Amino acid sequence: MKKLIALVLACLLVVSLFAACGNKTTEDTSLQAVLDKGELVIGTSPDFPPFENLNDDGSITGIEIDILTKICEKLGVTLMIEQYDFDAILTGLDAGKYDLAVSGITATEERKENALFTDAYCLSAISLVVPEGSAIQGKDDIADKTISCQTGTTAELYCNNNGLKNNAFQANADAQMALTTGKVDVWAIDKLTAVDMVAAYNDEHDDKLVVLDEPLTYEPYAFASKLGNDALIEAINAALAELIADGTVKALFESYDAEYVDPSVDPTV
Ligand code: ARG
């Protein structure tokens, strides 16, 4: 009897192994699944104005939300928004929590190994923010300073790769507060969000913050899906290309008073 059970278990194992292998070659239903359910579900960390921002009334608005609304119109589906911390956004794709990660995500070569990115739709940069009057004027002045940044971002990666002392926070607002309460010397954050958050802070406070001109890095933003979701990414790329070509994306940036830089521009020349 024991032998029989062992044999049955062995057979089941073989069958499930075959099934598992078979799955890998199943066709890509990523686009069809979105069209069938009539929804594109995005995962976002809405603490990143002007790209995605959680408003007091609980709504989430911003440039990327507007771009995705227009992409959804073209696909004929409804946009659904789910909120996560930034450092969970890319990993959540694998868990199948949403169809697309939308979070001012920089398309880095390293991230492309684990997620499928759309074409970039704009170019941003990482900037340094300091209190007005700070002696820090650029990246040459930060070697022995303490820097705040957001967990899981390219700003944190830059600090780690360059051996810079940093405090990483889940929420961007806390990284900003670390600077305004003097816990760190400088805050590293994507340029357009820096400009937006610093303007909001300076409006309400007597002490002022300054965004330094010199960028640390350049950051092409794109949206990401799970590896293998090529059909979905191709459809989004087609819609995105139209929105870039007809000036819609640029106009959206302007409507948020944000400077638009075409992703094909080489900023170093
Ligand atoms: N561009 C940076 C990155 O990809 C920061 C993005 C932060 N986004 C956010 N929604 N908080 O790492």
pLDDT in tens, 50-87: 999 999 999 999 999 999 999 999 999 999 999 999 99
pLDDT in tens, 147-166: 999 999 999 999 999 999 99
Give yes or no for residue 47 having a pLDDT over 80: yes
Q: What is the pLDDT of residue 252?
A: 98
Model confidence, pTM: 0.89
What residue has token string 């024991």?
A: 2
69/87 same-domain check: yes
Ligand 1 neighbour 176 (Cβ under 6 A):
no
Q: How many CB atoms lie within 10 A of CB 178?
A: 21
Question: For all residues of the chain together, what is the average pLDDT?
Answer: 93
User: How far is residue 100's CA from residue 105's CA, in Å, rounded to a whole number?
Assistant: 11
Let me know: does 218 contact 140? Beta carbons within 8 Å.
no
CATH number of residue 170's parent domain: 3.40.190.10
Domain assignment of residue 138, yes or no: yes
Q: What is the pLDDT of residue 138?
A: 96
In the chain, the number of structural domains is: 2
Domain assignment of residue 60, yes or no: yes
Q: Which of 108, 153, 187 to mutate to test the pocket of ligand 1 (most atoms within 8 A of CB)?
A: 153
Q: What percent of the chain has pLDDT over 90?
A: 88
Range 88-106 average pLDDT: 96
205/234 same-domain check: no
199/228 same-domain check: no
Instruction: Report which protein residue has its CA nearest ligand 1's atom 11.
Output: 48
- Which of ligand 1's atoms lies nearest the C-alpha of 111? 4
Cα of 108 vs centre of ligand 1, distance in Å, is 12
Strand partners, 44: 83
Cα of 86 vs centre of ligand 1, distance in Å, is 7
Ligand 1 neighbour 86 (Cβ under 6 A):
yes
User: How far is residue 218's CA from residue 216's CA, in Å, rounded to a whole number?
Assistant: 7
In terms of residue numbers, what domain contains 78? 30-121+222-255
Q: What is the pLDDT of residue 4?
A: 53
Cα of 111 vs centre of ligand 1, distance in Å, is 12
65/110 same-domain check: yes
Q: Which helix (H) or strand (E) holds 165?
A: strand 165-169
Strands 116-117 and 165-169 turn out to be unpaired
Let me know: does 254 contact 267? Beta carbons within 8 Å.
no
